Each structure stands twice: as structure tokens, then as C-alpha cells.
């Protein structure tokens, strides 16, 4: 098993060139990473929306953070660790940690409510646009 850095978020920020491969972190790129991970985990009913106040939201019928490697962790821990994701390929990781490392604000929202994972929480107006009964992962780059 590979040795992973103790502080994954700091490691990702320090080695941005290696982990992003020169790619600029944009809302569409971040959404594509989350969608890919969710699809590898078997979620095929996904939606991406650009909402007010600069939020991008990836939504699905099921919470994919509760599937696959790392799913046993509390959500806040999953978003702060490098989790080996062999289902996606050799040397692949789950990309939830990228939300905390490269986005100014991030949240998860499900039937249990809102969990702010980085920065500021979305406004009540943004939350009102989220479909009930869906899992939502939102972020601002």
C-alpha cells in the first residue's frame, strides 16, 4: 500500500502542477472529475447545473460518497484525504479532496441536510433550487 501524505490538502496545493497536470481548475473540469468518479461507482443518473452566486452543483439520485473506497469514513474525512481508487485505474484517487484543495467553497447536501466542507455555505436561495430526494455536491472555484 502506498504511503500517502499526512496533510493531503496541503500536499495537493503544494504539488498542483503534478496533480492537475497543467490543467486549470475550472467549474467544468471539477464537475467532470466528480461525474467520472460517480460513474465508476455505478451512478448513472447525474446532472450538472450552474447556479446563482457562482455555484456549480453535481447532483445524483444516490450519494456516491457512501460507495467504494473511503465510504466508511465520515464525509468530512473523505474530503480531506487521498483515497486510492483502483476501480478508476492505476494510481487514481477519489476527487472529493480536490474540492477542499482547489475550490474556495464546497458543500454536500442530502436528505439529512447541508454539510459545508470548505469555505462558505450556500445561501438559502441557492439551497432552495436543489431538488429534494437527490444528493448534491456544490462548489465554487
Sequence ranges of the domains in the chain: 8-140
114: which strand partners? 109
Per-residue pLDDT at 37? 97
pLDDT by 10-residue block (mean), the chain, 141 residues = 68 83 90 97 96 98 96 93 92 94 97 96 98 97 95
Q: Evaluate the CA torsion angle 66, 85, 31, 10 in order and state its sign.
A: positive
Per-residue pLDDT at 72? 95
Distance of alpha carbon 79 from alpha carbon 65, whole angstroms? 9
Residue 49 burial (CB < 10 Å; 0-12/13-18/19+)?
middle
Q: How many helices (H) and strands (E) does the chain have?
A: 6, 5
Contact of 107 with 117, CB cutoff 8 Å:
yes
Amino acid at each position: 500500500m502506498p504511503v500517502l501524505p499526512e496533510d493531503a490538502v496541503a500536499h495537493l496545493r503544494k504539488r498542483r502542477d503534478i496533480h492537475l497536470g497543467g490543467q486549470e481548475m475550472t467549474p467544468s473540469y471539477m464537475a467532470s472529475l466528480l461525474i467520472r468518479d460517480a460513474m465508476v461507482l455505478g451512478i448513472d443518473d447525474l446532472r450538472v447545473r450552474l447556479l446563482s452566486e457562482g455555484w456549480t452543483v453535481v447532483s445524483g439520485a444516490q450519494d456516491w460518497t457512501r460507495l467504494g473506497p473511503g465510504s466508511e469514513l465520515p464525509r468530512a474525512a473523505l474530503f480531506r484525504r487521498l483515497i486510492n481508487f483502483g476501480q478508476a485505474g492505476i494510481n487514481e484517487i477519489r476527487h472529493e479532496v480536490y474540492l477542499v484543495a482547489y475550490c474556495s467553497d464546497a458543500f454536500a447536501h442530502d436528505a439529512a441536510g447541508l454539510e459545508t466542507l470548505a469555505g462558505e455555505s450556500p445561501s438559502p436561495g441557492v439551497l432552495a433550487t436543489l431538488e429534494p430526494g437527490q444528493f448534491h455536491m456544490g462548489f465554487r472555484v
